[in-house]
């Protein structure tokens, strides 16, 4: 039962609120002073507190601040006497959810305010719950798979997380789980109490990159109206995840090199060196060494980043992971979409194992999700699978004599083209459906 604590020195107000709110199926407690209010709140941990702004002992606003400090999730509704609007405004600024004016002429207004406050508390608790859950999600044992390489990956994450390692480079095709690994490294380490910050180098221009990463001083450039801390500073004692590091411009590479060599940087427009303790995890879905050979990525930066390399193989190279992952995502999707699909038929399993998974684990996850949403039968059978699986290999139109590998590639191409068609030529959308990045899609189309 949701609980409400009423703190008001007027007995008739307490009686009225008790009556009205009890009728609303709420568990109501009342007290007459601020001190008692704080004590009862500590005992009861109420969902909502109705708090008189004028109390005989402590000022209601002070009680409010103390309450919000100790019970950040509790919603507080202030009760003010008619004409005390300034106080109500102050209270709202100090974290009150709402205010009501005495005398309560419209009881509906009171009921509505309490209902709303309860909704707010529920939402806040849910966010808190999800956040805790999310942290749990990024532990190494949430990295599913039975292949040797995945087993090694789990061990490595646990060891590295606790180590002093300052820089880690994660390489792997799109959708192989690089971000999952980076978060695993953060949330398994003592650094988890500090922020995990991320920046995607592909999504940001050179000038913006610098001020995002290092921050800027007031007046450093036209838009810099205030001093702003950069991600490096915000991530102090935590982790910075540098995604798609190959996409960093050469100017940014030079600036980043100094920062990573010395763990010291200056804000844009600043003259002071700032020192931080940040673990940098860089990720790339293109082989970085090749980028260095082509002169697209600085060699010195590469060596700085590549102190501890983690390479995640593509899913097609770790077949032992496919079915455990598929079953894991099936359970997850069953729960999420309130379904009770039991598993995969033996033929389906065969098809899942022989597919090439261009979008890797993300593609597998998306596929299972779609199957669960659409699926009605107990077991997922080959007929339930989309084209690249269901097209029987024997009758594939462009079958080559080279054997299965070749025809799978054909099937894959057909599927990609068909998906693009279904997405009315929108390649971003098609990439999303396929569970691959736009880049991967482009590469696949260029390969043909």
Ligand X SMILES: Nc1ncnc2c1ncn2[C@@H]1O[C@H](COP(=O)(O)OP(=O)(O)OP(=O)(O)O)[C@@H](O)[C@H]1O
Cis before 103? omega within 30: yes
Interaction of residue 177 with ligand X, rule CB under 6 A: yes
Q: How crowded is residue 30: how many other Cβ atoms within 10 Å of its Cβ?
A: 20
By C-alpha distance, which of 259, 313, 309 is closest to 283? 309
One of 178, 279, 298, 304 touching ligand X (CB under 6 A): 178
Interaction of residue 62 with Mg ion, rule CB under 5 A: no
If you write DSSP's letter for every residue of 348-399 in order, what string do you get?
Answer: HHHHHHHS--TTHHHHHHHHHHHHHHH--SSEE-GGGS-HHHHS-GGG-TT-
| 3-state secondary structure (DSSP) of residue 167 | strand
Find the residue with minimal CB distance to ligand X.
177
C-alpha span between 8 and 30 (Å, rounded): 8
One of 32, 37, 60, 172 touching ligand X (CB under 6 A): 172
As a three-state string, the secondary structure of 9-63 is: CCHHHHHHHHHHHHHCCCEEEEECCHHHHHHHHHHHCCCEEEEECCCCCCCHHHH
Q: End-to-end CA distance of the chain, in Å?
A: 63
Question: By the 8 A CB rule, do 307 and 160 touch?
Answer: no
Interaction of residue 184 with ligand X, rule CB under 6 A: no
C-alpha span between 19 and 281 (Å, rounded): 58
Stretch that binds ligand X, among 161-169, 170-178, 190-198, 204-212 (CB under 6 A): 170-178
Binding-site size, ligand X (CB under 6 A): 17
One of 73, 179, 332, 349 touching Mg ion (CB under 5 A): 179
One of 55, 143, 157, 169 touching ligand X (CB under 6 A): 143
Judged by CB under 6 A, the chain residues 270 through 309 that form the site for ligand X are 285
Which entry of Mg ion, ligand X, none binds 32, CB below 5 to 8 A by partner kind? Answer: none
Interaction of residue 365 with ligand X, rule CB under 6 A: yes
By C-alpha distance, which of 39, 2, 27 is closest to 120? 2
| 3-state secondary structure (DSSP) of residue 145 | coil
Q: How far is the CB of 432 from Mg ion (least distance, A)?
A: 14
Q: How far is the CB of 200 from ligand X (least distance, A)?
A: 9
C-alpha span between 145 and 365 (Å, rounded): 13
CB closer to ligand X out of 33 and 167: 167
Interaction of residue 175 with ligand X, rule CB under 6 A: yes
Q: How far is the CB of 136 from Mg ion (least distance, A)?
A: 20
Interaction of residue 411 with ligand X, rule CB under 6 A: no
Task: Give every CB contact of residue 439 below 8 A, 6+ residues apart in sequence.
Answer: 174, 285
Interaction of residue 169 with ligand X, rule CB under 6 A: no
Question: By the 8 A CB rule, do 368 and 333 touch?
Answer: yes
Which entry of ligand X, Mg ion, none binds 177, CB below 5 to 8 A by partner kind? Answer: ligand X
Q: How far is the CB of 384 from ligand X (least distance, A)?
A: 21
One of 144, 371, 416, 431 touching ligand X (CB under 6 A): 144
Which entry of Mg ion, ligand X, none binds 174, CB below 5 to 8 A by partner kind? Answer: ligand X
Binding-site size, Mg ion (CB under 5 A): 1
Interaction of residue 358 with ligand X, rule CB under 6 A: no
Stretch that binds ligand X, among 173-181, 224-232, 301-309, 419-427 (CB under 6 A): 173-181
CB closer to Mg ion out of 201 and 213: 201
Whether the CA torsion 312, 418, 342, 331 is positive or negative: it is positive
Q: How crowded is residue 406: how many other Cβ atoms within 10 Å of its Cβ?
A: 14
Q: How far is the CB of 243 from Mg ion (least distance, A)?
A: 6
Stretch that binds ligand X, among 56-64, 71-79, 169-177, 256-264 (CB under 6 A): 169-177
Which positions touch ligand X (CB under 6 A)? 143-145, 172, 174-180, 285, 325, 361-362, 365, 437
Which positions touch Mg ion (CB under 5 A)? 179
């Amino acid at each position: 039962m949701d609980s409400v604590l009423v703190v008001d020195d007027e007995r008739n107000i307490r009686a009225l609120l008790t009556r009205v709110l009890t009728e609303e199926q709420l568990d109501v407690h009342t007290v007459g002073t601020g001190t008692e209010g704080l004590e009862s709140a500590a005992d009861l941990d109420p969902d909502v507190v109705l708090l008189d702004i004028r109390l005989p002992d402590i000022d209601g606003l002070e009680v409010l601040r103390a309450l919000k400090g100790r019970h950040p999730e509790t919603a507080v509704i202030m009760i003010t006497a008619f004409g005390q609007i300034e106080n109500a405004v102050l209270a709202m600024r100090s974290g009150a959810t709402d205010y009501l004016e005495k005398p309560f002429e419209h009881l509906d207004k009171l009921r509505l305010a309490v209902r709303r406050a309860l909704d707010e508390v529920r939402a806040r608790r849910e966010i808190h719950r999800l956040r805790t859950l999310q942290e749990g999600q990024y532990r190494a044992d949430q990295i599913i798979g039975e292949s040797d390489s995945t087993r090694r990956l789990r061990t490595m994450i646990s060891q590295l997380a606790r180590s002093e390692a300052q820089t880690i480079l994660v390489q792997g095709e799109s959708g192989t789980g690089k971000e999952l690994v980076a978060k695993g490294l953060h949330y398994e380490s003592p650094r988890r109490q500090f922020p995990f910050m991320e920046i995607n180098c592909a999504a940001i221009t050179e000038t913006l990159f610098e001020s995002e990463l290092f921050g800027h001083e007031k007046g450093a450039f036209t838009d810099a109206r205030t001093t702003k801390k950069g991600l490096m500073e915000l991530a102090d004692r935590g982790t910075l995840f540098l995604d798609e590091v190959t996409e960093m411009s050469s100017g940014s590479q030079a600036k980043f090199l100094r920062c990573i060599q010395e763990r010291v940087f200056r804000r844009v427009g600043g003259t002071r060196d700032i020192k931080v303790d940040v673990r940098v995890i860089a990720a790339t879905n293109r082989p970085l060494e090749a980028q260095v050979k082509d002169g697209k990525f600085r060699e010195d930066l590469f060596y700085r980043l590549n102190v501890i390399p983690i390479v995640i193989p593509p899913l097609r190279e770790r077949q032992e992971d496919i079915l455990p992952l598929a079953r894991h995502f099936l359970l997850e999707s069953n729960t999420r979409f309130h379904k009770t699909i039991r598993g995969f038929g033996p033929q389906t399993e065969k098809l899942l194992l022989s597919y090439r998974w261009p979008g890797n684990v993300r593609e597998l996850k998306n596929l299972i999700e779609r199957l669960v949403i659409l699926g009605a039968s107990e077991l997922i059978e080959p007929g339930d699978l989309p084209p690249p699986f269901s097209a029987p290999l024997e009758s594939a139109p462009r079958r080559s004599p080279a054997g299965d590998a070749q025809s799978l590639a054909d099937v894959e191409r057909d599927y990609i083209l068909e998906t693009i068609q279904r997405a009315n030529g929108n390649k971003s959308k098609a990439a999303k459906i396929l569970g691959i990045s736009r880049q991967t899609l482009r590469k696949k189309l260029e390969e043909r």
